[in-house]
């Protein structure tokens, strides 16, 4: 884990310990001081919302902070009024405010993952309606995933006086190892089922090649080989070639009269009794490669 992630998660966890009413009290004091100075009463809830919203606008839209950092800073802000004066031992328990904050923190990385996926799908030319549907379905499924946790947490908080009278009957700590063990068992069962009878090599590259190219086998090396793609008029295009292989190469060089790409294995999947090996272009090149800028002419 990176230090920044550890830091933000720690702060968030500490923040969830802060009693919500204390935050209201802080804004209530703030509201009173405003009333004393300028004689106008501003509701504390309005002040808190305004402050949070301003902070979000500033951090996310102006400073262009990542959502994880924005949430982390909000959590710090949430915790700051109490970190100075309240000893940890005196904090009675976590509060119900931890639930929405916990959910939002759990969702932040998913939102980032989703943003990356949406960006990729837009660039691939997928319709916006389909992308929107994917986002909605994704959130529904995540909501479904979090629901048991939320229900159990709410029940526990209610039945234990917000954690002040913890019950020891429910082995909360065992949930995680049990989930992991179950997951590992299921994964191993799945792996036993995946046996491939045929291996398909899939080569994918974006390069200058003929529009109506034909494939010709080039030089064979010990650990890989070269494919020549000839014919057609040159155009920058995506080349996708798939064929069955008996031995898996470590690399493939795709060479057209106008361009050369070095491909290496990036993904391996077993589907319907076939092993698919996806080879994508790699940026690494030998210093002596003619494509390398540092290579002598």
Partner 1 sequence: MNWMRWLFAFIFLPIILSIITGDVGIAYISLLPASALAFAILFEPPSGFRGEREVEKTLLHTGDETEVRVKLSVEKGSGPVVVGDVLPPSFELVEGKNRHVFFKRPGERLEVKYRYRVRALKRGVYFIPPLEVEGKHLLGIESSRYAVVSDGVEVRVSPRLVEIRKSILVRRRGRLGLPPAVKTAIGFTSTEFKEIREYRPGDSIRSVNWKASARFSKLLVNEYEREGYLTVMFYLDGSDSMAVGGYQSGAFETAIEFLVPVIDYLLKQGYQVGLYVLGHEYWIPPMSGSSASSTFRKLLIPLGMTSHNESLPLAVEKTRYLLSGGVIPIVITNVNPGSVSQLSLGVKNLLKLTRVRPIVVDIDVYPAAGSAGTLISLRKKKLAESIPARVIRISRADKRAVSRFMGVLQ
Q: Considering only residues 20 through 79, tell me which ones interact with partner 1, judged by CB under 8 A.
A: 68
Q: Can residue 146 be called a binding residue for partner 1 (CB under 8 A)?
A: yes
* ∠ CA 232-233-234, rounded to 5°: 115
Strand partners, 276: 200, 269
Binder to partner 1 among 29, 35, 190, 291 (CB under 8 A)?
A: 190
158 lies in the site for partner 1, by CB under 8 A: no
Q: Which of 45, 52, 106, 286 binds partner 1 (CB under 8 A)?
A: 106
Structure tokens at 213: 């190219």
Give, as ranges, the residues between 223 and 242 that touch partner 1 (CB under 8 A): 231-238, 240-242
Q: Which of 20, 45, 182, 295 binds partner 1 (CB under 8 A)?
A: 182
Q: Is 134 in the site for partner 1 (CB under 8 A)?
A: yes
* Residue 294 CB neighbour total at 10 angstroms: 8
Q: How far apart are CA 91 and CA 145, in angstroms?
A: 30
Residue 144: CB minimum distance to partner 1, A: 8
Identity of the residue, 35 or 130, whose beta carbon is nearer to partner 1 in the bound complex: 130
Q: Report whether 203 contacts 227 (CB < 8 A).
A: yes
Q: Is 109 in the site for partner 1 (CB under 8 A)?
A: yes
152 is an interface residue for partner 1 by CB under 8 A: yes
147 binds partner 1 (CB under 8 A): yes
CB of 223 to partner 1, least distance (A): 23
If the CB atoms of residues 81 and 163 are measured against partner 1, the closer one turns out to be 163
Q: Using an 8 Å Cβ cutoff, are 12 and 29 in contact?
A: no
In terms of CB distance, is 48 or 95 closer to partner 1? 95
Q: Which of 35, 211, 250, 291 binds partner 1 (CB under 8 A)?
A: 211
| Beta bridge partners of residue 220, listed in sequence order | 225
User: What pairing do the DSSP bridges indicate for beta strands 214-220 and 198-210?
Assistant: unpaired
Determine if 291 is a binding residue for partner 1 (CB under 8 A): no
Taking the complex as a whole, the smallest distance from the CB of residue 273 to partner 1 amounts, in Å, to: 11
Q: Which long-range contacts (CB under 8 A, 24 or more apart) does 111-118 make?
A: 111/67, 112/66, 112/67, 112/68, 114/138
Position 186 contacts partner 1 (CB under 8 A) = yes
164: contact with partner 1 by CB under 8 A: yes
Answer whether 117's CB lies under 8 Å from 130's CB: no
Q: Of 56-64, 168-176, 244-252, 288-296, which segment contacts partner 1 by CB under 8 A?
A: 168-176
Residue 195 has φ and ψ, to the nearest 5°, of -120, 125
Strand order in the sheet with 224-230: 214-220, 224-230, 251-255, 260-271, 274-281, 198-210, 234-245
* The Cα angle at residue 188 between residues 187 and 192, in degrees rounded to 5: 120
């Amino acid at each position: 884990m990176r230090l920044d992630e550890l830091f933000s998660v720690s702060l968030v966890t500490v923040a969830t310990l802060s009693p919500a009413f204390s935050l209201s009290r802080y804004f209530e004091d703030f509201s009173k001081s405003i009333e004393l100075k300028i004689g106008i009463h501003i509701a504390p809830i309005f002040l808190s919302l305004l402050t949070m919203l301003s902070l979000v606008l500033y951090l996310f839209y102006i400073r262009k902070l990542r959502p994880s950092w924005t949430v982390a800073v909000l959590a710090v802000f949430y915790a700051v009024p109490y970190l100075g004066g309240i000893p940890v031992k005196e904090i009675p328990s976590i509060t119900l405010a931890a639930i929405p904050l916990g959910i939002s923190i759990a969702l932040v990385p998913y939102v980032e993952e989703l943003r990356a996926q949406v960006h990729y799908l837009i660039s691939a030319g997928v319709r916006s309606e389909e992308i929107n549907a994917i986002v909605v379905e994704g959130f529904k499924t995540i909501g479904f995933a979090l629901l048991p946790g939320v229900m159990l947490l709410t029940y526990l908080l209610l039945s234990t006086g917000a954690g002040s009278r913890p019950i020891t009957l429910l082995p909360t700590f065992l949930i995680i190892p049990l989930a992991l063990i179950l997951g590992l068992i299921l994964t191993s069962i799945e792996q036993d089922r995946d046996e491939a009878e045929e291996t398909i090599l899939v080569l994918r590259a974006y390069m200058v090649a003929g529009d109506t190219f034909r494939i010709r086998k080039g030089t064979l090396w010990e650990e890989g080989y070269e494919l020549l793609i000839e014919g057609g008029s040159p155009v920058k295009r995506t080349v996708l070639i798939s064929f069955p292989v008996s031995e898996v190469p470590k690399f493939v060089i795709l060479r057209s009269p106008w361009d050369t790409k070095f491909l290496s294995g990036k993904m391996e999947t077993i589907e319907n009794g076939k092993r698919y090996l996806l080879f994508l272009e790699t940026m690494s090149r030998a210093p002596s490669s003619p494509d390398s800028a540092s290579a002598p002419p």
